[in-house]
Structure 1
């Protein structure tokens, strides 16, 4: 898809997130906005500017564009979109609204909080592209059920990249290690916390996808093109491997699969999950 088509997809995902709040005013699911921004930041920025240039911004609601711009600034330390939104609102003589952020999964006492499990990949393992340690540690047939449940969707992976200023998914030895890890431990994503704030989705699939899906912003900061053809290929392969590893042992793989496909638009999510369930 070209940038215009990708921007249309991004807007179709963003617009339903801005809705009336039961206590008055407007509300927006800021977590999902951040997911959309992460999945294709170039398309989001293009779409917002097009909406403003076409005069649609005030019709849809400044709150949406303000939240998108804030997510863009927070994720990429880039306030250019925020400046565009504020300038456009000022030209229109319209005040920017106050927004109530909506977090569907709850925070604090509203949700059970679990201490994160940090899986620190050893320098020696990465350098040798040796996944034996992870293969042994994470075997589904020997991992105690309570340990597996405590780790599932709760792990943050760190890689040894000291002294290398490139984004993690562009470091060859880490890319090679993650690709071998996916091949030797196909259920590995079962343990990852794909909450956007941790960046696991972009790092993991960034290592598996072609480097063309990654655009360096500065230093180790990067944008990941979730619409790149190679991303869909590796996501499909990952889902297939996940199911085949989990089903024989009656391990529920669907929550992980849902987290993996969450950054995509709804129709793509449905297709990916259908493919994962039916492909034998």
Structure 2
């Protein structure tokens, strides 16, 4: 008797009493009905979908980096590394999201720009949580969310918690590297500022004879994250410059001028400067 599946057995189940299990799990009908263009311009739909996709990537990256920070707090480096490594292709996919917007001509972008009104990307609560995890803290960034108590509470919590990099430096200290108390005990609600002794600590990590040590692998994973964040900021700058030149941004932002300033800043700064001394 043959064990080969019959054609009937290989046919997928197409009959369900209610919605499909796929819909129940993914909730695709919710996602695909969240787009409500405010103009008749075809390009606005591309802008809406692209922006919403970015929000989903922000959500996933916040999940990954929160997982990594919690694992580092418990000295669970394998779990932290797994989360950081997962975040790399996720960051690459986030960065690729700029492509549909980046190739709009100024006229195509301006055709629906007024639909944004006072809306601007810097008002994204999930992106702000992502930036807070990277150590770029600012209490003023909670102000736009005072009218949405849930988002405001989540952001306030993220503001006052140690960032991912704070947890990394605490791990280095527990491993015997000379991270100063003023860094370890700093107010986590403040933006992280580079410190020469932290640079020295990374210099000693990278000078290890074992170039495959777990701390060097951690440093390289963080550097990969930092590089992709830098590319995200630059891709944002280029896409905006192509679409609107030097015009003022929506929501009262300075547009390209503000993005240019952001693009010059690196996250995890001592991981970059320490390389000059190894």
TM-score tier, shorter chain, comes to under 0.3
Q: How does the TM-score come out when normalised to structure 2? A: 0.26
Higher relative contact order (CA 8 A, sep 6+): 2
Give the helix-richer structure, 1 or 2: 2
Q: How does the TM-score come out when normalised to structure 1? A: 0.26
